[in-house]
A and B are shown apart, each in its own frame.
Chain A
Amino acid sequence: MTDAQTPILEIENLSISFFTRSREIPAVMDFSCKVMPGEAMGLVGESGCGKSTVALGVMRDLGRNGRITGGSIRFKGRDITTMGERELRGLRGREIAMIYQEPMASLNPAMKVGAQLAEVPLIHEKIGKAEAWARARAIIEDVRLPDPDRILQAWPHQLSGGQQQRIVIAMALMSRPSLLILDEPTTALDVTVEAGIVDLVRDLAEKHGTSMLFISHNLGLVMDVCDRLCVMYSGEAVETGDVVEVFSEMRHPYTQALFRSIPLPGADKSARPLVAIPGNFPLPHERPPGCNFGPRCDYFVAGRCDAQEIPMLPAGGAPRHNSRCIRVDEIDWDAPPALAATAEPVPPGEVVIEASDLRKYYETAPGMFGGGTAKIVKANEQIDFSARAGETLAIVGESGCGKSTLAKVLMGLEVASAGTVTLNGDQIQQLPVEKRGPALISSLQMVFQNPFDTLNPSMSIGAQIIRALEIFQIGSSAADRHDRMLKLLDLVKLPREFATRKPRQLSGGQKQRVGIARAFAGEAKVVVADEPVSALDVSVQAAVTDLLMEIQRKNRTTLLFISHDLGIVRYLSDRVLVMYLGHVVEIGTTAEVFSPPFHPYTEALLSAVPVADPRVTRKRIVLQGDIPSAMNPPPGCPFQTRCRWKPLVPGNLCETVVPELRPIAGGHRVKCHLTDAQLATMEPVIEVAAE
């Protein structure tokens, strides 16, 4: 074994480029970092910043177009950049293993789980098949999967997302590697599942003394897992240092701006709004001279920041804390951010949309000749809520909880099975969207999750907005509609020239603005926003969120904000509705939902969200198992299979009776069998230390 002073991985001045027919595109430039034995190094940055390229560079798996153009990668003292194919193969999987973002795509669909696991030692160690399978079985137990014998014989598609990721982790650990590279290992998973995976990775790495290179865009997660971190921007490392050190004493404008644009506990849409980073991420071949972040930086000084290449400079007081900012010693890093325009909170008006005892059941079709029985999927059960004019109601829950079904029923893409939806006094639950008039359609609109797929790629932006105006029957003539379209572009802060552009010429954030313009084209009364920013980069999210709220304030629109991101929900919503397996388990104002007493599920959900703030202490409650299938929900309380408070409820009440959604205080309602006294004993999950 190496002694503690030799780094496991030492990257020095690494440069990686991709070569296309016309030009060389530098993806990583002058990147250095060091990972010591047993250390976890976080690599943070937005998409396209080169963090995954670094990881693949370490694996020397850059494809045919990628090439290492400079610098060295030393693994336990051996230079990887000059290794031959044979030597590399011996390293991959044995010494360095990788865990990927999408577990389903990373597992071979046509190979049994056991065979995929056993393959690793079969390749690297001279052992027999039986022994390799025995090792595979042992490691499945190690990653805390139930019933290892069944899992060995299972196909990947028979496992849930969380289980698949555990298999990928198991595969990486099969040969006890000394370095583990994790490329966004939990991005595709739900937060409560993510918490379990993160715990597992940390425990196993500690147990085997494995070093980790942890790649993520989620700052909170990096703080949970890593000892040190390296912030990347546009192919360069801009700040590196100890995690707590960097998080509490940022010494690069980009790091600081990134933190100011994510909603941490304490941010508030009216009093302390988020500060969005202006401008866009530069494309690799359009990088500015000098500091890459220069054009978006508040501290930019022309003639200095853009005059030369900026080297990494020591920053702060701590050793190994460096920043790629030429003005690192001049900037007053503790100065509070220039307060963005704050706004008065909007008092909510009259009730605009209301759902009462709304249910949506799907029936799975039986076989054509009567084989099998029809199963009923209860996607929505007893949904009760109301939202007022100018109010933001967040609908929160993990995948499969029924929040998207609810949106579909509201929009008329599905009709309700029972119950009512009332919009401005009219019942609309049985009106499919094709039977809704233009007035109803334009007053109830939706902003979709993925801006990349919702715009027609062959129509110009202007034409698409005008099309929406035509459908809503707004505007008297073509000229009038054109005029309104330009005003809508102004509204969403896009330059008017964009009217003639095609969607592919726009960035993700800009596309989402077009989506918002389209939704508000008919002065919508209610806008359902289904994860409107989750596909966008962190620095763009704040700007789009702000825009959405600004328009809402102006039009007094009711916003139904569907999200799994509790940070952003806490920041922008007035009231929160928590869903689990089709049930509303808790509803109340944001303050009520985010502080005790909680529904046990809300408590676990809150504790699972990593917070990127060293001052915040968080209670860890890791839920066991996966979300049950809506096809086969547990009897009684939907959450009883994973609830840690269940022992406190006498008898088998939880297993047999669905609890009432009962009022706790004011409008705060919780669907739980726990008594008020028991609920009162709950402690807050998140505590912010005094500044």
Chain B
Amino acid sequence: MLNFLLRRILTMVATALVLTFVVFWLTNLPPNLEKLAKSEGNARMTDAEVTSWLDRNGHAQPLLKRYGEWLGVAPGWTDERDGVTSGRCIARGTLPEDNPAFCGVLQGYWGQSTVFKAPVSEIIATRLGLTGILMFWVMVLMVPSALLIGILAGMREGSRLDRVLSTASITTTATPEYVSGVILIVVFSSSMVGLKWFKGTATSAMDGITFENFFLPVLTIALYGMGYIARMTRASMSEVMTAQYIRTARLKGASFGRVVVRHALRNALIAPFTVIMLQFPWLLNGVVIVETLFNFKGFGWTLVQAAGNNDIQLLLGCSVVAVVVVLVTQAMSDVGYVLLNPRIRVS
């Protein structure tokens, strides 16, 4: 088991390196850097000035060197001009000797956001916290109801209950968040329908969550994933219900409820478990739209701001978080799969 975990972690680190490198390369393409130079320096820079600005700020170095610096495995660039030494790791107004040679993600230095004028690590920590709360409630709502729907639909394949639940699942999962979100707002919080049960914005939820201000965003994200997980669970459940060991259980004299709960459930949950874990990265995706729609200033909203304003450091920070979330959930899904399925034992 230890060996398995070790291997798992090593492959994860390797994947993380590759993925962050790709993002780094894409966000640091020359046009982006030119835009950065113009927004940081001044908008009417000549091409020669742009080049010299980039050179002064370490952006003219080879890509790998810059990636290494950002990661914190290569020493930060230094630039001596007019007797003043500036550099990646040298805070303005301090001497080079007082600063470390390396400053990258590994050292905890995530860079400075150009939009929010604050350290990236700080921004991400607060925003991720807010999104975490949103995700938590989404999971609380989505997973149990999806599993329940899937199991109810799958235990008697082709029954009326199955058809009703399956149609509902397909409908919700075929409706993107920006459609379902708008519909929900219109129906439950606008004066057009007049129900006005919930608030159409979640801005106030950042200070204190209430059912009224938080239910709609949670529901919007949950609905989409719910249909998907329910379909997976149903497929898995209906397959398990035709298995021979289910017949064995039935012919032991076990009641239908007992057959479903004691014999089918655990076997049927093995497949959807992976899907549920895959939903976490998907949620990040949905979060981008829903947070913008409901003006909930979490991770997704931050990502939109960073991308819209060419905030390279913040974008890179967001991508690191996304990569870590994907990899960690995948590892968890593998471990959970092993625990659920006794036939798979790590050797």
Contacts and interface: CB of A to CB of B under 8 A. Distances in A.
A64 B238 CA distance: 14
A102 B247 CA distance: 12
Contact of A91 (B158, B248, B249, B253): B253
A121 to B, nearest CB: 10
Contacts of A89: 253-255
A90 B255 CA distance: 10
A510 to B, nearest CB: 29
A168 to B, nearest CB: 8
Nearest to B256: A85
A371 interface: yes
Interface in A365-391: 367-369, 371-372
B245 A106 contact: yes
Per DSSP, chain B at the interface is helix
B342 A92 contact: no
Given A123-B253, A367-B3, A369-B3, A109 B244 contact: no
A7 B245 CA distance: 30
B342 A110 contact: yes
Interface string B312-343: 00000000000000000000000000001111
B251 interface: yes
Contacts of A59: 251
A108 B243 CA distance: 9
A93 B252 CA distance: 4
A108 to B, nearest CB: 4
Interface stretch (B170-178, B210-218, B262-270, B298-306): B262-270
B158 to A, nearest CB: 8
Interface in B224-263: 243-245, 247-255, 258, 262-263
B7 interface: yes
Nearest to A155: B342
B3 A110 contact: no
A272 interface: no
A260 B219 CA distance: 71
A100 interface: yes
Interface centre among B6, B248, B258 (most CB of A within 10 A): B248
B263 to A, nearest CB: 5
A61 interface: yes
Nearest to B245: A108
Nearest to B247: A61
A94 B340 contact: no
A93 B342 contact: no
A171 interface: yes
B244 A61 contact: no
A124 B253 contact: yes
Contacts of B250: 61, 92
Given A110-B341, A369-B6, A120 B252 contact: yes
B343 A119 contact: no
B347 interface: yes
A111 interface: yes
A443 B33 CA distance: 68
A64, A89, A90, A369 pick with most chain B CB within 10 angstroms? A89
Given A157-B343, A367-B3, A107 B245 contact: yes
A100 B248 contact: yes
Nearest to A372: B347
A371 B3 contact: yes
Contacts of A120: 252-253
Interface in A82-126: 89-94, 97-98, 100, 102, 105-111, 119-120, 123-124
Contacts of B243: 105
Contacts of A371: 3
B342 A61 contact: no
Interface residues of B, number: 28
Q: In the complex, which of the residues B7, B244, B255, B343 has the most CB atoms of chain A within 10 Å of its own CB atom?
A: B244
A119 B244 contact: no
A110 B270 CA distance: 10
Nearest to A120: B252
Contact of B253 (A94, A108, A368): A94
Nearest to B250: A61
B342 to A, nearest CB: 4
Contacts of B252: 92-93, 97, 119-120, 123, 171
A88 to B, nearest CB: 8
A111 B258 CA distance: 14
A108 B263 contact: yes
A91 B347 CA distance: 44
Contact of A105 (B244, B255, B342): B244
A105 B343 CA distance: 13
Nearest to B3: A371
A110 B340 contact: yes
B266 A110 contact: yes
B258 A100 contact: no
Contacts of A100: 244, 247-248
Interface string B255-288: 1001000110011001000000000000000000
A559 to B, nearest CB: 37
Interface in B92-145: none
Contacts of B340: 110
Contact of B245 (A90, A91, A105, A369): A105
A234 B247 CA distance: 25
Contacts of B267: 108-110
Nearest to B266: A110
Contacts of B262: 111, 119
A369 B5 CA distance: 11
B281 to A, nearest CB: 26
A369 B253 contact: no
B11 to A, nearest CB: 9
Given A61-B247, A108-B245, A108-B263, A123 B343 contact: no
Contacts of B6: 369
A688 to B, nearest CB: 40
Contact of B254 (A105, A119, A168): A119
Nearest to B2: A371
B343 A92 contact: no
Contacts of B254: 89, 93, 119, 123
A33 B173 CA distance: 54
A369 B255 contact: no
B262 to A, nearest CB: 7
Q: Ordered nearest first, which 6 A-B pairs have the shortest CB separation?
A: A93-B253, A93-B252, A105-B244, A92-B253, A371-B3, A108-B245
17 contacts: A64-B158, A89-B253, A90-B253, A91-B253, A102-B244, A106-B247, A107-B248, A109-B341, A110-B266, A110-B267, A110-B340, A111-B266, A120-B252, A123-B252, A157-B342, A171-B248, A372-B347
Interface of B: 3, 6-7, 10, 158, 243-245, 247-255, 258, 262-263, 266-267, 270, 340-343, 347
Interface of A: 59, 61, 64, 89-94, 97-98, 100, 102, 105-111, 119-120, 123-124, 155, 157, 168, 171, 367-369, 371-372
Given A98-B251, A102-B244, A109-B341, 18 more contacts: A59-B251, A61-B250, A91-B253, A93-B252, A97-B252, A100-B244, A105-B244, A106-B247, A108-B263, A109-B245, A109-B267, A110-B340, A110-B342, A119-B252, A119-B262, A124-B253, A367-B7, A372-B347
